[in-house]
Chain A
Amino acid sequence: MSAANRGGADLTRLTAAEAADALAAGETTSVALTRAALDRIVAVDGDVHAFLHVDAEGALEQAAASDARRAAGAPLHALDGVPIAVKDVLATEGLPTTCGSKILEGWVPPYDATVVARLKAAGLPIIGKTNMDEFAMGSSTEHSAYGPTRNPWDLTRIPGGSGGGSAAAVAAFEVPLALGTDTGGSIRQPGAVTGTVGVKPTYGGVSRYGLVAMANSLDQVGPVTRTVLDSALLHELIGGHDPRDSTSIDQPVPDLVAAARQGAAGDLSGLKVGVITELSGDGYQAGVLARFQESVDLLVEAGAEVVEVSCPNFVHALATYYLIMPCEASSNLAKFDAMRYGLRVLPEGIDNPSAEDVMRASRDAGFGDEVKRRVILGTYALSSGYYDAYYGTAQKVRTLISRDFEAAFEQVDVLVSPTAPTTAFKLGEKLDDPIAMYLNDLATIPANLAGVPGISLPSGLADEDGLPAGFQILAPALADDRLYRVGAALEAALEAQWGAPLLSKAPALDGEN
């Protein structure tokens, strides 16, 4: 996009890197970018419902401060002044944080998550908090207590979950950047079904401090963007050691932006790519598989060597995940007892209710069905007499899955698969069938169990429904830079074919020019 076009309504179409360039060149201001984002939200978010809370005033203040810093010639972060949205599972000082749940309605944290503090320190105006499945439990954002988010490609369809709000906000051009969290695929799967780029960094590569935990050993904060380069810029900004998160890795973040730029040049010679046998066959929509295969072919054209790799234990990943995740979640959610913050419901028909009565009534009203389902599952699986059979066994299988990855990465540099087995399904379609819903995370879950990084980027539109399909790249722990190199190479090859970013093919939303 030429500099001349960087004005007016087009501001929302800029990628973060383009916006940063425009700011650096003095062609626009952070206030203008922020206003454009806010205006776009006013225009389309009634349909999309990507946001739970928009902080127009705060964002404009931060934008004005950014412009002032720039005018004063202060040294700036590359993304200083570029607006961003944050998934509502991250604590934001002074801004409501609900995790998509009634139980936290009205709660305003007195502190910032480390990643949020880093955004603020780098000068990115925070536009607001994005919708999500309650406590990040779900694959469709239909489990939000505040109503579902809709997919900008087709408003009758789901935007993926749990980070559907962040993905939809980016896909609908409401913001160029968003933060998501990925416990079993909640960044990558929404990315796949909305045609956006989503990255789950190496476990421990980005601080979890201030991320309201669903399953601590699986959760990871990561970028949601429209391009691979934007994800690299954001990932570098939020990554790195945090003394307040003892699981965070005390090593420098690899040079991800350089890896993305190198990849964009299109040469992958010497790279070995493994196609995961277990994640590319039965159960995958034909159109998704077709786009996947074409992308693999493009990698070969770019010089990569492609082989099939078997990860035999991946077939147990879903079952393993649905034991470990609810166990940790059941413990994490115990603190929501209506005593200190959030919702408090007095039970009806009890004159002098005890603390337990109030807790019971509050949890009954405050937690949705999916949350209750997982708390009960986790409580059961951890209970005495069942621990070894369920949690203990799941941890052993988890180790086997990690070993599958280790063995695979001895043969290849990266592994690839479709990100999700299908394109976006209809709202309500799988709401009454939890297992069918869970199957959507089939391909993304192994990376969380093993702690390895993964990226999803759009691989095109499925023939049968014209909806985006996602391409997943996985790398060994700490080798996040490989995701960006391979991802950027594929992105460049695909866009050369399409003639434009995939999102330019998305149907226009109401209020659009």
Chain B
Amino acid sequence: MTDTLVAFDDVLSSYDPALGLEVHVELNTNTKMFCGCPAVFGGEPNTQVCPTCLGLPGAMPVVNRKAVESAIRIGLALNCEIAEWCRFARKNYFYPDMPKNFQTSQYDEPICFEGWMDVDVDGETFRVEIERAHMEEDTGKSLHVGGATGRIHGADYSLVDYNRAGIPLIEIVTKPIMGAGAKAPAVARAYVSQLRDLILALGVSEARMDQGNLRADVNLSLAPKGTGSLGTRTETKNVNSFRSVERAVRYEMQRHAAILDRGEAIFQETRHWHEDTGVTTSGRPKSDADDYRYFPEPDLVPVAPSREWVDELRGTLPENPVERRARLQADWGYTDLEMRDVVASGLLVPIEETVTAGASAQAARKWWIAELTRRANDAGVDVVDLGVSPVQVAAVQALVDAGTLNDKLARQVFDGLIAGEGTPEEIVAARGLAVVSDDGALGAAVDAAIAANPDVADKIRDGKVAAAGALIGAVMKEMRGQADAARVRELILEKLA
């Protein structure tokens, strides 16, 4: 089932895209939204549960103050108004993972509303307007057993783990983002990326997309070019990486255009994103008339954050991410392109921590962006899941700076770190990785390389110093990478002078 697509550039000649993003952030509070259970997903199924998060008859919710605090801080960081008085509502619908068959959420009285975030795309700034950020609880998780696909279809039976049920979520909803045109996919990506930076800087969530701490739903519609109207939208659910956010927007623009070009109408529905194939497929039909029968949750008293508390929380906000990036770029001397790569990769925080731990900004960038990102991609995991910490990266670089390691050996130390073999120093010792720079050991290898490569030696004697690289390579090979390359070069040039 492949959808017809229109070439991306052609989409824009006929249509204006409107983008909307709904991002769910799982908070890292110690306890759940409405009970005292640990807010730790994972562990043995159904061990982090109580009558309240299981929705047992008679159990009642109590609002987690820390979650309200996190919601307010997120709202303030997004330049939102903070409600003086708001309530929770019941969103009534059946969902197999939802123990009460209603979700305690906020409806017409969100705690945060009317905010904005400026998003940088290629030096251009888009103001993304935030409609609201509201509090709600997460659902449990189903495990479908017996089918080939792990989906409910074809499964013999399903099990439900309620450990995640009741973990606090903040849902951040943008207003329709108009006028991004060809940059709509990049704006979507940049928004989610900057939002994640902000969440991390606030320290309110682990914000790991691969683990579902931060989940983006992408709304997209196309309208005939220049009309300024809004078309029928589709909502692509749970897109779980920055790159996928960008690709999903692009894909939906191309898919919508093909349908509209045929004179057909877009069907309002949710879509599923498929990371492997880069396509979306139809989910369930969704209309604006979904009848959730919202009404105020009678078991919870209204949330009325005092202005003193809000002001106090305002004082705890981290630096504005845009200003922070400008400051870091200046401090670190990165080019615009380098900075953009760093921001887009979502590695600003670990790089900053690496610099704080003593590495140069360039070295930190090199290891995280070039080396560790490649390894994470190869392993199919998130970089932060490789098991290498900023402090360790800084320690490896310190060994390089001290001349103990060269880059090649440093990569082997990373192998060891990923394999959990201990500290960089322990790995250097255990693997015998230190660079050899004493002339006794190197001299013999240099002599052997010269003897084995008379043509190259002649060129160098003729003044073609650049040819020394070949001999250095031979020495390195002989020394299994552990030679001090700079000293080897000096020895070669001395011997062939």
Contact = CB atoms under 8 A, between A and B. Distances in A.
Interface string B47-71: 0000110111111111100000000
Contacts of A99: 57
Interface string A402-417: 0000000000000000
Contacts of A247: 298-301
Given A334-B102, A383-B293, A113 B299 contact: no
B99 interface: yes
Interface string A85-123: 000001100000101000010010111010000000000
B301 to A, nearest CB: 5
B283 interface: no
A210 B60 CA distance: 7
A216 B297 CA distance: 9
Contacts of B298: 215-217, 247, 328
B57 A104 contact: yes
Given A246-B62, A334-B101, A384-B289, A327 B295 contact: yes
B57 A384 contact: no
Nearest to A219: B298
B136 to A, nearest CB: 16
Contact of B60 (A209, A335, A383): A209
Given A216-B298, A337-B94, A243 B56 contact: no
B293 A246 contact: no
Interface string A374-415: 000001001110010001000000000000000000000000
Contact of A111 (B56, B100, B101): B56
B158 to A, nearest CB: 9
B469 to A, nearest CB: 68
Contacts of B94: 334, 337
Interface residues on A, range: 35 or more
Contacts of A285: none
Taking each of B289, B291, B294, B298, which has the highest tally of chain A beta carbons within 10 Å of its own beta carbon? Answer: B298
Nearest to B102: A331
B299 A246 contact: yes
Contacts of A192: none
Nearest to A211: B58
A244 B50 CA distance: 12
A208 interface: yes
Contacts of B90: 331
A211 B63 CA distance: 19
Contacts of B52: 244
Given A217-B298, A246-B299, A335-B99, A212 B60 contact: no
A247 B90 CA distance: 16
A382 B57 contact: no
Contacts of B293: 330-331, 379, 382-384, 387
Contacts of B100: 334-335
A336 B291 CA distance: 20
A109 B56 contact: yes
A354 B291 CA distance: 22
A215 B90 CA distance: 13
A217 B101 CA distance: 19
Contacts of B301: 246-247
A320 to B, nearest CB: 15
Nearest to B55: A335
A209 B59 CA distance: 6
A68 interface: no
A244 B289 contact: no
B101 A337 contact: yes
B51 A111 contact: yes
A199 interface: no
Contacts of B55: 335
Nearest to B152: A355
A341 B197 CA distance: 43
B56 to A, nearest CB: 7
A91 B57 contact: yes
Interface in A205-230: 208-213, 215-217
A217 to B, nearest CB: 4
Interface in B439-494: none
Nearest to B299: A216
B392 interface: no
Q: Which label, helix, strand, loop or mixed, suits the secondary structure of the A interface?
A: loop
A209 B299 CA distance: 10
A272 B58 CA distance: 39
Contacts, number: 95
A245 interface: yes
A428 to B, nearest CB: 29
A335 B57 contact: yes
Contacts of B57: 91, 97, 99, 104, 107, 109, 212, 335
B58 A383 contact: no
Nearest to B34: A246
Interface string B35-55: 000000000000000011011
B92 interface: yes
A246 B58 contact: no
Given A331-B92, A337-B101, A391 B295 contact: yes
B387 interface: no
Nearest to B52: A244
Contacts of B285: none
Interface in A226-258: 243-247
Contact of A209 (B58, B289, B295): B58
A113 B59 CA distance: 8
Given A335-B55, A383-B291, A340 B99 contact: yes
Interface in A103-145: 104, 107, 109-111, 113
Most chain B Cβ neighbours within 10 Å, of A90, A328, A335: A335
B296 to A, nearest CB: 9
A246 B52 CA distance: 13
A246 B102 contact: no
Contacts of A213: 58, 299
Nearest to B63: A246
A384 B62 contact: no
Nearest to A204: B301
Contacts of A215: 298
B356 to A, nearest CB: 41
A246 B101 contact: no
B44 to A, nearest CB: 17
B403 interface: no
B463 to A, nearest CB: 83
Interface string B267-311: 000000000000000000000010101110011110000000000
A391 B298 CA distance: 13
A335 B291 CA distance: 17
Contacts of A110: 51, 56
Interface in B170-217: none
Given A246-B300, A334-B92, A113 B102 contact: no
A242 to B, nearest CB: 9
Contact of A387 (B59, B61, B63, B295): B295
Contacts of B56: 91, 109-111, 341
B99 A355 contact: no
10 contacts: A91-B51, A111-B56, A213-B58, A246-B61, A246-B300, A247-B301, A330-B293, A331-B92, A335-B101, A382-B293
Interface of A: 90-91, 97, 99, 104, 107, 109-111, 113, 208-213, 215-217, 243-247, 327-328, 330-331, 334-335, 337, 339-341, 355, 379, 382-384, 387, 391
Interface of B: 51-52, 54-63, 90, 92, 94, 96, 99-102, 289, 291, 293-295, 298-301
Given A334-B100, A379-B293, A382-B92, 6 more contacts: A111-B56, A246-B301, A331-B90, A355-B96, A387-B295, A391-B295
